[in-house]
């Protein structure tokens, strides 16, 4: 199957999932999770119409950013982020999905202020409570969110999660619902709008869309198995 067919297939699945729960497909953004995928492949997907790509490693991102500079790509950063790398992302990514601690918020604030932008971010939440997963624990989420309200150059626009991997995507559903509930509670408690839920990957994005995802991060289903 060619790139454009793969892209169409994933977009169709998103559409079908939207239809099942009465959502509009335009509410869901497909992000190509493109770690390890070479720039020439990204270019082909871009030509098929995919505009949003998410990278996990700063070094790798910068190379691709450079290689594809003439394209109008909407880059996101979706991986764990070291504070000393934040400066390289400024003015290059529209959204950082992985804010998980105050020190990182402070660094984003500092760097965004320096270049005169407001950086949009998502707070990553460890909904499964797994030791190996990044993200703030749900019980510490309100405190971290409240802290970000004091940072003028950083704007939280929603939440992100990487739930536990479970063979049956239906079993992941409660974790997606949990992220949505945490978002709803923050909106109510702080009287703010947090429109985005970044959740769902190749094997479970349909369920994530049914549970309210506004950004799905799809790698394998678009680009094939990573070597």
Binding residues (CB under 6 A) for ligand PLP: these are 33, 35, 56, 78-79, 162, 201-202, 217-221
Q: How near is the Cβ of 78 to ligand PLP at its closest, in Å?
A: 4
d(CA 136, CA 227): 30
What b/e string do you get for 122-139 counting C-beta neighbours within 10 Å, with b at 16 or more? bbbbbbbeeeebbbbebe
Of 163 and 212, CB closest to ligand PLP: 163
DSSP class of 165: P
Number of continuous H segments (helices) and E segments (strands) in the chain: 8, 8
Closest of 88, 86, 98 to residue 33, by C-alpha:
98
Of 98 and 109, CB closest to ligand PLP: 98
Of 58 and 78, CB closest to ligand PLP: 78
Q: How near is the Cβ of 215 to ligand PLP at its closest, in Å?
A: 10
Q: How near is the Cβ of 96 to ligand PLP at its closest, in Å?
A: 12
Of 186 and 208, CB closest to ligand PLP: 208
Residue 123 backbone phi and psi in degrees, to 5 = -90, 125
Closest of 94, 163, 180, 170 to residue 128, by C-alpha:
163
Q: How near is the Cβ of 100 to ligand PLP at its closest, in Å?
A: 12
C-alpha dihedral (32, 137, 143, 57), degrees to nearest 10: -30
Q: How near is the Cβ of 98 to ligand PLP at its closest, in Å?
A: 8
Of 151 and 162, CB closest to ligand PLP: 162
Residue with smallest beta-carbon separation from ligand PLP: 219
């Amino acid at each position: 199957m060619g790139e454009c067919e793969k892209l169409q297939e994933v977009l169709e699945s998103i559409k079908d999932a939207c239809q099942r729960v009465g959502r509009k497909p335009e509410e869901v953004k497909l992000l190509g999770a493109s770690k390890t995928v070479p720039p020439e492949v990204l270019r082909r997907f871009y030509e098929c119409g995919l505009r949003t790509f998410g990278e996990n490693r700063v070094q790798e991102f910068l190379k691709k950013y450079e290689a594809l500079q003439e394209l109008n790509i909407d880059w996101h950063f979706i991986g764990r982020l070291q504070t000393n790398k934040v400066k390289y992302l400024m003015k290059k990514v529209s959204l950082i999905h992985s804010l998980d601690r105050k020190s990182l918020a402070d660094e984003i604030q500092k760097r965004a202020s320096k270049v005169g932008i407001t950086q949009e971010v998502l707070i990553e939440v460890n909904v499964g409570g797994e030791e190996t997963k990044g993200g703030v624990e749900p019980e510490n989420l309100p405190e971290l969110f409240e802290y970000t309200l004091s940072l003028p150059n950083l704007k939280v626009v929603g939440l992100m999660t990487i739930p536990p991997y479970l063979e049956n995507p239906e079993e992941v559903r409660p974790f997606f619902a949990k992220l949505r509930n945490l978002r709803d509670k923050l909106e109510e408690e702080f009287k703010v709008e947090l429109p985005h839920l970044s959740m769902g990957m190749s094997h479970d994005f349909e369920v994530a869309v049914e549970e309210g995802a506004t950004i799905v991060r799809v790698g394998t289903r678009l680009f094939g198995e990573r070597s």
